[in-house]
Amino acid sequence: MTVIKKKSVKKAVKKPPSKAIKSLQYDLFSQFLAKDESEVSNTVEYWERIPKYFLSAQEQNKLRTAEGLAQLYSYEYKVKDKHGNILPYSIDIQPALIKQSDGKGKAFFPTKAEEIIEEVLKKIFTEQSLGVHDPRKVESWVKFSYSMIRRELKNKGCERKYSQIKHSLEVMSKCVLTVYEDGKEIYIGSILQDYCSVDRAEYLADTEALHVARFPIFISHAVNTLQARQFNYARFLGCEEQLTRWIYKRLINRFVNANYMNTYHFLYSDMKQASGLLRLKDEKDNRKKVLSSLEELKEKGVILTYETEERKEGRKIAEVKYTLTAHSEFIAEQKAANKRENLQAVEARKQGLLVDKSNPR
């Protein structure tokens, strides 16, 4: 039998623009309306509603073989569009294969550690000398060093070692996400694309040496179409529980008209499938986890009060409805975010910028 060897095809790696690009969209993305701009950043709902950081270290251990390898992990979820239609989605997460000290590769899925690093990189991107956005190609690049990330994490109370930062960047650049909408593939790529890292010798000589990476199309599209929303990034990083951060982001993007007169509600079942974070075997424990996150949101000045409404089938709790009232701090921040969006729209019209706000594909 003749064995035909497939010729390996090396994927072409894109390179960042060699010169600075003047971009009104990037300028607007980088400008905030806050007393302390170091505490605010941008949230991109199209990208962040994709569940990708939900697998715990314990779950990953169970998914690995004795050799440390793992198959891709599939997860189904649903998204409600702006017209109220429920669309079925799914994601395949192909783990990053990272070389260990024994020379063998080990599979790693993205986790809450990488979620934090992503937020820091999005913040670094807004610093004028470190972000590049090409509106014609719809590409956004960020330049950074390990030291920049480490300093930012330390300033926000979530310090990491250089080795941990390096590991997270490898996971983010080597894992592959494939997203499907109603069974059709709409995105395939890593969390950090075309990541150009410095070599070991250069890094050891200078931890300030700059790395470069390209953000996914969802983020670049949000920059181009002014669909990113300002939020309290310092508070986000200060949240202890991952589910707290997920609910907080949801409130930022959905409870946009928060005031003293209205409330926001969501269902337990919606949160469970959309976040992927309620994975305990006993639903009673999962519901306790939700309450713990709501209590943390109270402590952080996001919500003032919350009420729970249990819906039963016989003696069994079939559903829970959570109704939240906003804290004055959150109300003020949402008003600032709304005002910023209005100012962006005015400036865009003044400069003759027309944006297509259809979903990125």
Domain contains 16: no
Cα within 13 Å of Cα(230), Cβ side: 29
Domain contains 15: no
Contact 195, 213 (CB under 8 A): yes
Nearest CA to 341 out of 218, 219, 215, 222 is that of 222
Cα within 13 Å of Cα(183), Cβ side: 0
Look at residue 113 in the predicted model and tell me its pLDDT: 96
Q: Looking at the structure, do residues 91 and 204 belong to the same domain, yes or no?
A: yes
Q: Looking at the structure, do residues 221 and 140 belong to the same domain, yes or no?
A: yes
Residue ranges making up the domain that contains 101:
40-231
Q: Looking at the structure, do residues 62 and 210 belong to the same domain, yes or no?
A: yes
CB atoms within 10 A of CB 326: 24
Domain contains 159: yes
Residues sharing a CB contact under 8 Å with residue 127, sequence separation 6 or more, in sequence order = 30
Q: Looking at the structure, do residues 171 and 211 belong to the same domain, yes or no?
A: yes
State the Cα–Cα distance between residues 238 and 158, nearest whole angstrom.
Answer: 8
State the Cα–Cα distance between residues 130 and 142, nearest whole angstrom.
Answer: 6
Residues sharing a CB contact under 8 Å with residue 108, sequence separation 6 or more, in sequence order = 60, 95, 96, 97, 98, 167, 170, 171, 175
Residue for token pair 């949101």:
297
Q: Fill in the amino acid letter for 250.
A: R
Look at residue 92 in the predicted model and tell me its pLDDT: 98
Burial class (CB in 10 A: 0-12, 13-18, 19+), 73: middle
Tokens representing residue 104 in the block = 């063998």
Q: Looking at the structure, do residues 52 and 169 belong to the same domain, yes or no?
A: yes
231, 263, 293: which is the final residue of a domain?
231
Contact 236, 248 (CB under 8 A): yes
Q: Looking at the structure, do residues 211 and 102 belong to the same domain, yes or no?
A: yes
Q: Looking at the structure, do residues 301 and 221 belong to the same domain, yes or no?
A: no
Cα within 13 Å of Cα(104), Cβ side: 7
196, 231, 266: which is the final residue of a domain?
231
Contact 272, 300 (CB under 8 A): no
Q: Looking at the structure, do residues 158 and 292 belong to the same domain, yes or no?
A: no
Q: Report CA-CA distances (Å) from 48 to 109, 151, 166, 193.
A: 17, 24, 22, 16
Domain contains 117: yes
Q: Looking at the structure, do residues 226 and 285 belong to the same domain, yes or no?
A: no
Domain contains 73: yes
Domain contains 21: no
| CATH number where 257 lies | 1.10.10.10
Checking DSSP bridges between strand 316-326 and strand 40-43, what pairing results, if any?
A: unpaired
Q: Looking at the structure, do residues 244 and 227 belong to the same domain, yes or no?
A: no
Residue for token pair 């470069």:
212
Total domains in the fold of the chain: 2
Cα within 13 Å of Cα(231), Cβ side: 24
Phi then psi dihedrals of residue 126, to 5 deg: -80, -5
- DSSP reduced 3-state for 196: strand
User: Where would I find the H helices in the chain?
Assistant: 24-30, 45-48, 57-63, 112-125, 146-155, 162-174, 200-205, 217-225, 233-238, 242-254, 268-275, 283-299, 328-350
Q: Fill in the amino acid letter for 205.
A: A
Look at residue 205 in the predicted model and tell me its pLDDT: 55
Average pLDDT, 10 consecutive residues per value, the chain (361 residues): 40 72 94 96 96 95 96 94 83 97 96 97 93 95 94 92 95 98 96 81 62 96 96 97 98 96 96 96 97 98 98 95 98 98 95 76 60
State the Cα–Cα distance between residues 40 and 168, nearest whole angstrom.
Answer: 23
Domain contains 211: yes
Domain contains 32: no
| pTM recorded for the entire structure | 0.91
Q: Looking at the structure, do residues 357 and 325 belong to the same domain, yes or no?
A: yes
177, 207, 231: which is the final residue of a domain?
231
Phi then psi dihedrals of residue 259, to 5 deg: -155, -175
Q: Report CA-CA distances (Å) from 105 to 70, 264, 312, 324.
A: 11, 46, 48, 46
Q: Looking at the structure, do residues 131 and 201 belong to the same domain, yes or no?
A: yes
Look at residue 201 in the predicted model and tell me its pLDDT: 55
